[in-house]
Structure 1
Amino acid sequence: MHEDAARKAQRWTFREQFLDTDRLRHINYGNLTLRREAHLFLTHGVVVSVLALMLFWIVSANWSRLLGFTGMFGSSEPETVQCYEIVTNVTQLPPPPPIAPPEPPSVKRVAAPVEAAPKVGKIKKVAEAPPEQTFATQKEIKQAIQQGPADQNAGGGTGGDTVVEFVNCQTPPTVVSIPSLRYPEMARIAGIEGRVFVRVLISEDGRAMKANVVKRIPSDGTMFDQEAIRIAMETKYTPGIQNGRKVRVWMTIPVRFTLRES
């Protein structure tokens, strides 16, 4: 027994609480011996298990070859092959019956509802419409221009003919007053002269309702259009009279733009 066993036993139990490895290292029996050799047993067990698994897999995969090679569990009797004869009876079937086309759906004839005659009120007698108004031709306008224009002085030039073309009516409209003409600046600088024919609608009270350009001489002299329309719209007229009452009348007014010599 170790010499200081009592002193070490007291130290193990009450002080530092650890085993005396120096003493236990020389013990060759019991639990300590098994612990020292545990890794050997584990290694042997793993190797044997792997080898047994591989052997079982190889034998099972080649079992039929092993039986044929060794001749075990074999039968000396030859194999017999049985043949079966299959007899089939073919019967000619009659043709299928013809398929009848489906009957068209019956259509019910419904009598159309008779609409009641519309109610007609009393017929009132109205005044006869005035006869259709025809416009003067360009030849008549040209003749009216040649009869004697009246000049209006404005903006360094003269223009604004008062010769008027109108539709046929009992009492045609007349010109009461014409505003001063303002010669377009671009045309005055370029020395361009021309004439513009403006068609204007005269209302029942002698006012111009709307106007548009129907012709210009020269044909590309569009710089005079705005001033010619202004002259036609600001001119005061007497209304046209048809069958004793005032009516709306279209008139065509030629506006002449002429430069004066300074």
Structure 2
Amino acid sequence: MSSKLDNIHREATQKATMWSFVEEFLDTDRLRQIDYGNLALRRQAHLFLSHGVITAIVLLGLFWIVSANWHSILSLAGFAGNDDEPMVECYEVVTSVTQLPPPPPLAAPEPSVVRPASVVPIIPNVGKIKSVKEANAPAEQTLATQKEIKQAIQSQTSGTGSGEGGGASASDDVPMFVPCEKMPGFLDQKKPAYPEMARTAGIEGKVFVSVLIGEDGRAIKAKVMKRVPADCNIFDAVAIKSVMESKYYPGIQNGSPIKVWFTVPIRFQLD
């Protein structure tokens, strides 16, 4: 009996070495001669496991191959429809070019004539003309021109300057610009009095007075050369009086005193 068991165990060991999926178990079903139940199923379990694994691998490989080459399989089988192919449409563009005639020349617009507006002259109302007897007609008067009025004013100004000079003779004609080594200057300058009328009216100005200085330093005559503003002569008299009452030292040329004109600017400004 023991030898028979040893043979069974030896055969089981050989089968296990030949097939890796065989589980190691005792063949008690053979000893008991049982061909059903759990022992019979466990003896065939390795077969079912190996068949299932191989079948699963084969099916998975087939599925991957078919899915990867699906379009090729359909084209080979003849089931590929025309709808799967991309539709290519060709359009033919026809462009027609028509040579247009040249445009007509643009007519230059006629210049508009500007008509001057008719101006109705306004006749001044001079009243009624009355006839006057020749005996009662006024004598004719001759009016001075602008040039004659200007000359009269200049002569009046020169007369005022010479009058302030203490009766200087008309023979003291000295050129306005005489070269000299040393120009005359003030020894004692008299300040001019501000005219009361100009102070009340708030008038300010500046007067340029030229005074003729003699060899002894006395003022011979004076005249106004320029006014600021030009039409304001209210300061002329006091300006001339101021320069005539001032004391000077004479101009020097070649070591000797000479007569020379000296221009003094005098500003009149309210405090």
Same-fold call, TM cutoff 0.5: no
TM-score range, shorter chain: 0.3 to 0.5
TM-score after normalising by structure 2: 0.35
| Structure with greater proportional helix content | 2
Q: Which has the larger radius of gyration?
A: 2
TM-score after normalising by structure 1: 0.36
